[in-house]
Amino acid sequence: MEKGYSGARINEIAKRAGANKRMLYHYFGDKEALYLAVLEGAYVAIRSAESKLHLADHDPVEGIRELALFTWRYFIEHPEFLSLLQTENLMKARHLKRSARIFDLHSPLVAVISDLLKRGAAKGVFRADADPVKVYVSIASLGAFYLSNRYTLSTIFRRELTETRALAEWGDHIAHMILASLRP
């Protein structure tokens, strides 16, 4: 994603992948289908990594905290994921809308968050009206906004937001903000 969707060329993609250009066209058909496969693959990767957390086995508070911290760390460790999302959002989800898999990739995550929220509400530690999609969008937003704007924010506020310590503190802040928003 160094050059973005419009800057990417099949010849260059094939060369970097060590693949034959004709094979890419044979397998994917066109650049748009290849891009959709890359986009879906990025979502498969994050959802697969999340599933290894076994959040359903966690205490509700710890489960939400772990999801928040995991998401933050994943965004830091996989900047290409955020780049793909930013590119796709600039195109108003043009490719993602064609995906037959995207909903099914995300429904298990929503179900796990929903379960954590219901168990937390039953224990009296979370509001009963918490929406699992809003919780995840909030987690992702707090991480993505920071990382997408860290250089300008560092300049504006004269703080080095890219330092390891600042990144760790922001992860803790995300978890704290999300958990605070869920309290009854």
DSSP assignment string, 122-183: HTTSS-TT--HHHHHHHHHHHHHHHHHHHHHHHHHHT--TTSHHHHHHHHHHHHHHHHHHH-
What is the C-alpha end-to-end distance of the chain, expressed in Å?
42
CB 47 within 8 A of CB 105: yes
In a domain, 79, yes or no: yes
* Average pLDDT value over all residues in the chain: 90
In a domain, 89, yes or no: yes
In a domain, 21, yes or no: no
| Other beta carbons within 10 Å of 118 | 15
> Domain containing 43 — which CATH number?
1.10.357.10
Residue 38: predicted pLDDT:
87
Residue 9 domain-assigned (yes or no): no
Indicate if the pLDDT at residue 33 is higher than 70: yes
CA atoms of 24 and 100, how far apart (whole Å): 21
For residue 35, the model assigns a pLDDT of 84
Is the residue at 91 inside a domain? yes
Q: For residues 88 and 32, is the Cβ–Cβ distance under 8 A?
A: no
Query: Is residue 143 situated within a structural domain?
Result: yes
Q: Which domain, by its residues, includes 99? A: 31-182
**Domain count of the fold of the chain:** 1
Q: What is the pLDDT of residue 31?
A: 74
Question: Is the residue at 4 inside a domain?
Answer: no
- Model confidence at 171: pLDDT above 50: yes
Domain annotation covers residue 2: no
Tell me the pLDDT tens digit for each residue of 117-150.
999 999 999 999 999 999 999 999 999 999 999 9
> Quick count: other Cβ atoms within 10 Å of Cβ 177?
14
Question: What is the CB neighbour count within 10 angstroms for residue 171?
Answer: 21
Q: Do 114 and 49 meet the contact criterion of CB atoms below 8 Å apart? A: no
